[in-house]
Structure formats: C-alpha cells, structure tokens
Structure 1
C-alpha cells in the first residue's frame, strides 16, 4: 500500500489501520493545529454505490449525533480519484482490542469500562440507531480536558431503526453479532446491540459457555474471580438467543449492570475522588497506557507521527504526597523521583496501568509547572511511571519500540546505568512542537518496568537526562 503524503489540506503522517471497506490514516490538520484520523473508502469498493453510500451515511450520522461518547466527524471530502473520505477526531488512546491484547483488565476496571460502553451505545439507541457491530476494535479511547473518553466507533453498519427490518445483507462480526443477524428476514433492533454488549462483557470478564448462539434459555456464563455475582446473570440475559429474552436496549442493560455492580463502582469512584481532591485530576499516563475512567487528562502537544500523550496528574494544594516543594523528592507509592531545582511533582497513579490489587500503578509528572507541561511545548518536564504488569509482557527495549516518533530524527539508542538501573535511552530531535523528546526504560527488579518520557530544558544534554534517571528510585 502506497502512503499518500496529503489528503486534501491534511498532511498524512502514518497508517493507523486498514479494513475490508476503508483505510485510516493519521494526519495533521493545520487549521485545528492537531492530529486527526482520516478514513478513506477502500479503492476496490470505490465504484460500489451501495458501499459508498453506507460509508457516507456513517459520516453523516456521526456528524448529526455529535456526541462526546461517539467518534466526532470534523469534515468530509473526496480524493481526486473520486473516493470519499471522512475526517474524524483521532482516538489517541487506541482501541479496546489493543488493550485486551496486552492482557485482561482487572475485574473492577472491566466492569466500569463495560458500563461506559453501554452508555455510548445508549446514545445511539436514544436517537433511533442500532450499531450492529459492537466489537473490541470498535471501542476506542480518546484523551481530553475532561478525562479519557470511551468512544463507540465504526458505525458503517449502523442503520436507522425505521429501515433496519428491510436489511437483507448479513452484517456484523461472528462471535459478537446476535443470532438474528444471520437471518435476512429477521427484524434487527436495539436488542441486537444488547447481545453485542453482553458478548463484550464476556470478553472482558470471562467466557461464554457455548459459542455461536447455541446456549439456550438464560444459563449464566462463568466469569473469572472478582466479578460481582450478579453480573453473570446480567450477561446471561443480555446474550439470550431469543431477542425477547434480552434487555430491550442499552440503557436497560446498563441499569441492570449498575444494579449488579453498583456498590463496587461507587467504591472505585469514591477512591478516585478522595485521591484527587475536589475538582482536581488524579492520574497520569502516556499514550496507550490509559485506563477506562481516569477522571482527567491533559494532552501533550506532540511531535512525530505518533503523538506522545501524557496526562498531568493533579493533586489538591493540601495534598503533601502529590505536590512537592522546590528541590524535594516526588513520591507515588514506592516510586520516588529526586527533583531538579525549581521542579515540582504531581501525581498518584498511572492511568490505565493496574496492578494485581486492581489499583493504579504508581506514576508522577515532574516539571517546573506540571499543570502547563502537558499543553505547553515550551515547558520542560517528564512523566515517570513504574509498572509491574508491563514488565511481565515486554522488555525495556520492546516498550520503547512501541513509542516511535516517525517525523523526528532519532539519535542512536544508548545504554546507561543510573541509580542502580540499567536504562535504555532513545532521543528524538523533532521539527515541530517539542524540539527534543527523550524516551527511557529500565527494569527495577522485582518491582517492575520504569518508564521516563522527558522533554529536557533548552540547551541541556545527556548529563541532565542521566541526572534525572539517577534520581528515579523504587523503595
């Protein structure tokens, strides 16, 4: 596949993904001064009027709904060869499929995430739309000033309920689509999406007792340890073979889920509120490590084809553990960072990185101004995190390989031993945004993998980087 350099006024940076009907590119929007995802109809379908219309229907539908639980559409256009494209808000946190590939989420986090997905599907149902293809690949994550959002995406198979019964083509993904979607004469309504939500719940929390719709009645699925007992009954009803035996829509499914797991969800929300203080963010995380419901995130203006997104974790002014005076040591759990003169530390946890106890793994943002660093390329600073779960799935070298900066010039990767840790360090000189980005990772056995993402002060060199790394310790 030949990558285009431009699509309309947008500068293409890299391929995000390709499917049967469309290709999605990451691009830079000069008007918005930010990155967008551009979805282009696949060339082999460009002359199929039915597929072309379905492609455009998705963009029109998302544009009409314009909701923060759905992927937003900025514009539509047409390539010189006649293929349509849609300019979408970029889901910088990746997909649920990506996260599940790294391993299962803690039970409490998975239930909370399912609740958020159901809320997004409920938006569609309130507007008379049934999605019909709810899969992990169609659940995306996007950072923003109000926190990381769970987004429902890929409505290319969606249909207004008024026309759903007239659909004759099979649509959906095996393993997630309702049994009636295999019947060209069946009425496909909101209960098909309830089945999809149930199947997503089983993927997040356990396994169905029988695949391909062969389960009869309301046999409860077996879920893994730590899942509230009532949740199994909710998923069992949601994935019933007969539509009449399911919940009528996503709102009813969500209400039942919250009733079954509400106490646990309330305890999790209370812990988050207590750690953050009133009106303040609580957690931080680099791109790809965000969890389902961190309360607030801020987006780092990034350089290169892959934007590096970090949330500045906040604390209240009276939180001694989260905000440190000049020259002090920042702490988050067992993680400590010796601060350069004039720097402060904010933070209580790494968004989306959960330990075996179900709690966020430790992380800090350190900077002369942690609140501005995430948004202002002129402010130096660093994200520092410790993750035992990441150490189990990859090496420091492998972790850094997941964080390329394609538009930046990479210096040779170097190794240095600082603070008793063998660090792998990659530095990038970038033409836009932050002029220098440093990525470093190392193992702090047996605690886990240490990760530092640093934008050093202007004019500083390897000595500053090494001094910061030397001050990263695990107690």
Structure 2
C-alpha cells in the first residue's frame, strides 16, 4: 500500500496528483479544521539519499518565500514508514495544464495568470532561488473571494542562484525548459524567464512552443518558435512579438529581466502596440541621407521606427509576424527570421494592401499603410537580389512607367503591357543570376499606381504571389 489513511494529525482524503518522486494528497488538518495538501515521497525512493535531500531542499526553498503566488509550506515531517512529507497550501482550482487542455485562454485571462506567475518567480529570485521547472502543470489555482489566484508549485528542481552560477546538471521539462539549462551551462534568472515565456505561448495557443519531447531535441533549437498566429489566427501581433522574444534560444536576446517581459506583455495587451525599446537603441541603424528620389522599397527597408501601432486584426486575417518595422526585426539579429511550421500561405494586410505569401517569408514592414514589404530578410532586400519576398506600394502617378529599374547586376526584358480586370498594367522581368524578379505596375485610379515586386525562384509560386496582391 502506497499510503496510510493518515499522517500524524493529517487525515488523508484523496489523491490529487502524482509525479516521478512524490504523491500529493488532499488532507484535513484535524486540529485546525482546515484543508491542506500533503506531499509525500514515493516508497521506491525512500532509500535514495539524493532524492530525499532534494525533497527536503524543496521544502526549505518554499519556506524562504512568503508570497501569495508561491505555494506555502506549513509543516514538514516524517511518516511512520520513514518517508518525508510536506504540508502545503491546498490549491482547490486545479492546474493551468488542466485549463490549457480545454483550449487557449482568453487574452486578458492569460495575461493575468502570466503576471501572477511572474510575480511568484520574482519573489523566488529575490530570495536567491531559481525554479528551473516552470510549466503549466506546476501552476496551481487557489480560490479567493475575488476569483482565483495562480501559484507556483513544485520546486523539486529548484536551485539556489549561488549553485546555478556554477555548471549544473541538465534537467527540466523538454517543452518548457531553456536550452542553456539542458546544456548544463551556468544559469541565471533568464532560464526561468524562458520557461515563463513558454507557458505564456501555451496559454495563448493551447500548445507548447516547439513540441519537443526530449532534452536532446531542446539542444537543437536555434530559433524562437513559430508565430502564435500559425496556431491561433487572432493572436495580436504585439503580444506575439513580446512572447516570442522571451523564447529566444540565445538568452542575451531575451528580455533582460522578468519586469521587462511582464511590463511589455501588459502594454502589448492594453495598447495593441509593440513596446518601445523592444530592440536596444544602440542596435538601430541610421537611415542613409539622400538628395535623390528614393525607391519606396528602399525607404521602407531603411525605416527607423521604435514603436509600431498594430491595427486590430480583421476576423478573416491569418497574420504573420508583423508588429515591427523591418529594421527592428533584422537589427537585433534574430527577432525576424522566425520560421513557420505550416506550408499554406498566409494573408498579410496593411491599409488597402494585401498579399498571400509563403510562411517562410516571416519578416514584415509597413510604412503608413501605403507600402508593405514581406520577406525572408528585410534587411537584405535592397542589397541581395536572392532574398525572396514581395513589395507592394502606392505611387502617386497618372501614367504607367515606360522603363523599369533593374536591381544592380540584373538584366531586364522588354516591358509587357496588359490588363487585370479594369486595371491597365505594365510588367518588367529582371534576371538576376539564376533567379527572376517580376516588377509590375497597376493603374488603380487616375492618380494612383500600385507597384508589386516579387522575388521568388519558383515560377509557380512567384506567379501565385503576384496574382494574390490586391489593392482594395
């Protein structure tokens, strides 16, 4: 029998959870007439001194923190059969994992929960403790008079910050653990920040970020996960950018601390804007001065913006990573370049402009809703003709051009005039090495042209992108 009917003054009511090392029971403190949770070491580990030591260390870590957002330890002892146990705050509202199983959370609710868990982590860190196993199953809820409150639990992998400043043994839950923790590197608070970002991703989408099931697979992660819009179309772009920055494999590219992440998440939710300072100002390039007319695509790729308003998403829109201007995505070495896991095209919109693109074209810039650039590398759009992407821009002009502007090093064919619906068009085709670039101008109205430039090595896909470009 794994469990006697009582331990000391605590009568056991029913089992509420079990893990690899311990079982948790709902119990009643008969002296205080109160419900508590009793966590007791499993029988098969009772002789393992290392496991016993870790079990008791968890109790000591929890006792260090007096926080509404961390499960409290009220008593500790040893059962008649020699197994250590802890008496914990009873969380009567289940776990975040249970709620996520039912589907993605409402945005305001997810933000509230992530902020509460973040506060718990801040309190742990302030007491010199790193959690190292933040995941939905370790976020419990306790009913309060005003609703419920999220609390962090299970510090079985917890370590003091003094210990993790040295090389540590790998550990953690694959779907939520930071890569540096798996690699046994020296850890700091950013390991827990990564895990909190992974929990946020799961709360917003209903799925863990990368879907990895082994620690070895975590070591292969070299980019943030796919945009959350690939799993839930209406995820606001600002929230998507904030969460995925927390999931940078390189910890130096993450938010510098929990406050930065939590403040940015709240701001993204309440204002719909990507918070200023997402990329350090020192990393921002200076736009080149010019006295000659500037090609609109060049101007767009060189745009210097620190905060970009994200318009409310239309219900039919399946967005890609959009909230930042191209320079922001490229300048920080990885905020763009996020790859998408699905192969179907996604529709990208800005003002009157829209186009369906491959999901690998995961960087976007918008200039006053009159120009749109979607590419694999917006920073390389003007300097490398091999970069795939599409540019759409409104041009104030009454006539179609008679000559094109071939990219440097590319040859051009004769222009081809045509008609799309009631719009007159002229199309220029440039050959750039083994690739071709299509540059089309459409007469939208007597005073406006639409320019569409597509770079794609596959002729079929190139034509599909060109045909999908619209001005509405």
Specify the TM-score bucket, using the shorter chain as the normaliser.
0.5 to 0.7
Partner of 1:261: 269
Change (3 A) 1:248 1:45: farther
Change (3 A) 1:220 1:119: farther
Contact 1:132 1:157 in 2 (8 A): yes
Partner of 2:153: 153
Contact 1:96 1:136 in 2 (8 A): yes
Pairwise CA distance, 1:115: 2.2
Pairwise CA distance, 1:199: 0.8
Partner of 1:33: 33
Q: Which has the higher contact order (CA 8 A, sep 6+)?
A: 1
Partner of 1:322: none
Q: Secondary structure at the match of 2:144?
A: coil
Pairwise CA distance, 1:30: 1.4
2:171 pairs with 1:171: yes
Partner of 1:457: none
Measure, in 1, the Cα distance between the counterparts of 2:228 and 2:103. 19
Measure, in 1, the Cα distance between the counterparts of 2:237 and 2:265. 11
Partner of 2:198: 199
Partner of 2:244: 236
- In the superposition, the TM-score normalised over structure 1's length comes to 0.52
Pairwise CA distance, 1:197: 1.0
Measure, in 2, the Cα distance between the counterparts of 1:136 and 1:205. 12
Instruction: Give per-residue Cα distances to partners, 1:384-441, cap 9 Å, x unaligned.
Output: xxxxxxxxxxxxxxxxxxxxxxxxxxxxxxxxxxxxxxxxxxxxxxxxxxxxxxxxxx
Partner of 2:227: 221
2:251 pairs with 1:252: no
Partner of 2:400: none
- Between structure 1 and structure 2, the one with the greater Rg is 2
Measure, in 1, the Cα distance between the counterparts of 2:211 and 2:155. 28
Partner of 2:112: 112
Q: Secondary structure at the match of 1:141?
A: strand
Partner of 1:54: 54
Contact 2:190 2:257 in 1 (8 A): yes
Partner of 1:439: none
Measure, in 2, the Cα distance between the counterparts of 1:115 and 1:264. 17
Measure, in 2, the Cα distance between the counterparts of 1:66 and 1:222. 35
In structure 2, stretches of 5+ residues that fail to align are 274-472
Change (3 A) 1:146 1:59: farther
Contact 2:175 2:211 in 1 (8 A): no
Pairwise CA distance, 1:45: 1.5
Measure, in 2, the Cα distance between the counterparts of 1:4 and 1:257. 46
Contact 2:64 2:127 in 1 (8 A): no
Contact 1:125 1:249 in 2 (8 A): no
Measure, in 2, the Cα distance between the counterparts of 1:160 and 1:135. 19
Tell me how many residue pairs correspond in the alignment.
264
Pairwise CA distance, 1:38: 0.3
Q: Secondary structure at the match of 1:12?
A: strand
Measure, in 1, the Cα distance between the counterparts of 2:169 and 2:201. 27
Change (3 A) 1:209 1:159: closer
Q: Secondary structure at the match of 2:51?
A: helix
Change (3 A) 1:146 1:76: farther
2:143 pairs with 1:143: yes
Contact 1:107 1:226 in 2 (8 A): no
Contact 1:23 1:40 in 2 (8 A): yes
Contact 2:16 2:26 in 1 (8 A): yes
Q: Secondary structure at the match of 1:97?
A: helix
| Aligned Cα root-mean-square deviation (Å) | 2.2
Measure, in 1, the Cα distance between the counterparts of 2:127 and 2:106. 33
Partner of 1:16: 16
Partner of 1:190: 189
Change (3 A) 1:236 1:104: closer
Contact 1:221 1:235 in 2 (8 A): no
Contact 1:10 1:30 in 2 (8 A): yes
Instruction: Give per-residue Cα distances to partners, 1:135-194, cap 9 Å, x unaligned.
Output: 11100000134542110110111111111133543220011001111223x112111111
Change (3 A) 1:219 1:26: closer
Pairwise CA distance, 1:55: 0.9
